[in-house]
Chain A
Amino acid sequence: MRIAATAAALLMVAMPAVAQERIVVAGSALCETIAALDQTHRVIGRDTTCGYPAAMAALPDVGYLRALSAEGLLALNPDMILTGNDAGPPETMQLIEASAVPVVRIEAGYSQEGVLAQIRAVAGVLGVDGAALIASTEEAFARLAAARGDAAPIRAMFILSGTGGRVMASGHGTGADAMLRLAGAENVLAGFEGYRQVTDEALTAAAPEVIVMMNRSDDHALGDEQIRTHPALGLTPAARNGRILRMDGTFMLGFGPRTPEAAMALLAAMRN
């Protein structure tokens, strides 16, 4: 179930008085928030999704956040697990709680409010002053809003993957959809929820002015040439005018402190 845009900090346990110095973090946005709060030195492990910044990526990897190993986590001797609602499996989380390691779940939504609430919650849990980071993030969002201005939204489409010519694109309720709106664009495929494979006819009818994708080098990637020669995508204004944008996936869809910066970069690229 997708979490709605409301941000909620669910503190599962009462916070002990002493500050945690051995934190395991699972979730890329939480990782980036901790790093932005300059608290990376208190983290001893991170999950596979935490690839930014480099100092975080260098820490021991506890596996994918939905398939964590109880003994692996406990082996690191953590005094707190900081994660979102996605962390699991539930058996693992139960064992962690049984061994009196507090599990703190902070879930951000795909929105400005979500990002700010997440920073506030993480700062609160870590017992540090997040005011500076919140102020700078708010300021960045304000600059973004000013840059968006009153200009008419650009008609954009986010493509997740394109294996074998089958295009998987974003509907509403996804991070990609929220990012397009933050960047002053309109998702031309808002008629369905989540990421879905879209038929050629629907792709042509949607007629995006811009196509946005993640940088990826695997076989799910779609090259410019593949898009131009694709029977449906090739007909879109985006392909005809060569308006195909690519951005790092974690940067663009992470919904952490770098989000206003990512939206600004996307906006600049789209208006360019």
Chain B
Amino acid sequence: MVAMPLAEHMPSGDRSQRARWLIALLVLLTVATCLVSLRVGAAGVSPLAVLGDWLAGRDVGLRDRVILLDIRLPRMLTGVLVGASLAVSGAVMQGLFRNPLADPGIVGVSAGAGLGAVTAIVLGGLLPPALAVWAGMHLVPFAAFLGGLGSTLLLYRVSTRSGRTSVATMLLAGIALAALAGAATGMLVYVADDAQLRDLTFWGMGSIAGASWIKLAAAAPVMLAGLVAAPFLARALNAMALGESAALHLGIRVQMMKALAIVTVAASVGAAVAISGGIGFVGIVVPHLLRLAMGPDHRFLLPAAALLGGSLLLGADMVARVVVAPAELPIGIVTAIVGGPIFLWILLRKRGLVDL
């Protein structure tokens, strides 16, 4: 585990000063990434020039306005929120499960959301026409959110007995549930036609290209609530690093903390996956990178993960939208290309520590 056995090998005791500096740096990085992301895109539209035109009372073209306000701005906010939600959820799950490989998907939310999305894509045509028109393009995100939340609640029920949630049961039941969801998804893929298969493939690779104000209005409150709730878990997660019973003796209300962590993660990751599809690696790579840099204290780790996750995903999105312009790469490909090697490096490094 990357530096997780708390406090044992800490060289000089307190790394909080370093963490504070790092967080300040990450704030700057996030702000810079946000600003740059407004400037980067297939169309050479400069926000400064447009702002200048607007302030000078000149006419801003409809095309430029749509590109800035309806494409790049919601995309920027979506990228930051989704990246932050995934990274924070990853950090919370790794802390709660005391497992370095835990990612947000571990509570079943990814498998459930995937099943929900596939169901909507393949069987959406069977809805009564009136309902289908009403649900329209929001059917897939909505189904993904419901699927993610539903599977997590089911998993939580399965692994909770007489008011106590067994983390180990949850881990194993999660694998069983993911296999079941995978089988159901496979069935639906089998009956899907060519066009639906294409849609499924693209959904699985993830993208924040479909960002819009309407989707943001639905998903942002959920993700924001998760980001606000996460820091309240920090102290409890720190105590959990010593083991569940130790945390209990330290006066942590462990069961309440588990419930809060799981619901928070399920809701915010559900919302994130719903509007962006499957984006891997952010939830694993970001927390680990930060633990290496500033230690495992969740009071600093969680806000730092939000900042780094947000700017990282936004950076990946900028790559995704320009490398094959005017077409676009799915962002999941970019995060996997960047995340895969980093993750491997972490594993090798960890093995080095173990070998020593």
**Chain A residues at the B interface, C-beta cutoff of 8 Å:** 1-2, 45, 48, 60-64, 66-77, 86, 89-92, 94-95, 98-101, 194-195
> Is the C-beta of B125 less than 8 angstroms from some C-beta in chain A?
yes
Question: Which of chain A's residues have a CB closer than 8 A to the CB of B70?
Answer: 95, 98-99
Question: Which of chain B's residues have a CB closer than 8 A to the CB of A95?
Answer: 66, 70-71, 212
Instruction: Write 11 A-B pairs (CB below 8 A) sorted by A numbering.
Output: A67-B198, A69-B326, A71-B67, A71-B72, A74-B63, A91-B137, A94-B212, A95-B66, A95-B71, A98-B70, A99-B65
> Is the C-beta of B246 less than 8 angstroms from some C-beta in chain A?
no
- With A2-B193, A69-B321, A99-B62 given, is the CB distance from A89 to B210 under 8 Å? yes
Q: How many residues of B contact A (CB 8 A)?
A: 33
Q: How far is the CA of A99 from the CA of B45 in the complex (A)?
A: 14
Is A89 in contact with B326, judged by CB distance below 8 angstroms? no
Closest 5 pairs (CB-CB, A-B): A63-B327, A72-B326, A75-B43, A75-B42, A99-B66
Which among A60, A63, A68, A71 has the highest number of chain B CB atoms within 10 Å? Answer: A71
* Min C-beta distance of B277 to chain A, whole Å: 11
Kindly supply a per-residue 1/0 record for chain B positions 33-67, scoring 1 wherever the CB is within 8 Å of any chain A CB and 0 otherwise.
00000000111100000000000000000110111
**Chain B residues at the A interface, C-beta cutoff of 8 Å:** 41-44, 62-63, 65-67, 70-72, 125, 136-137, 193-195, 198-199, 202, 209-212, 215, 321, 324-328, 330
Q: How far is the CA of A86 from the CA of B199 in the complex (A)?
A: 11
Is A90 in contact with B137, judged by CB distance below 8 angstroms? yes
The main secondary structure of chain B at its interface with chain A is helix
Is B327 in contact with A69, judged by CB distance below 8 angstroms? yes
Q: How far is the CA of A72 from the CA of B41 in the complex (A)?
A: 8
* Min C-beta distance of B230 to chain A, whole Å: 29
Is B328 in contact with A69, judged by CB distance below 8 angstroms? yes
Is A72 in contact with B62, judged by CB distance below 8 angstroms? no
Q: How far is the CA of A2 from the CA of B193 in the complex (A)?
A: 9
Is B195 in contact with A86, judged by CB distance below 8 angstroms? yes
Q: How far is the CA of A99 from the CA of B43 in the complex (A)?
A: 14
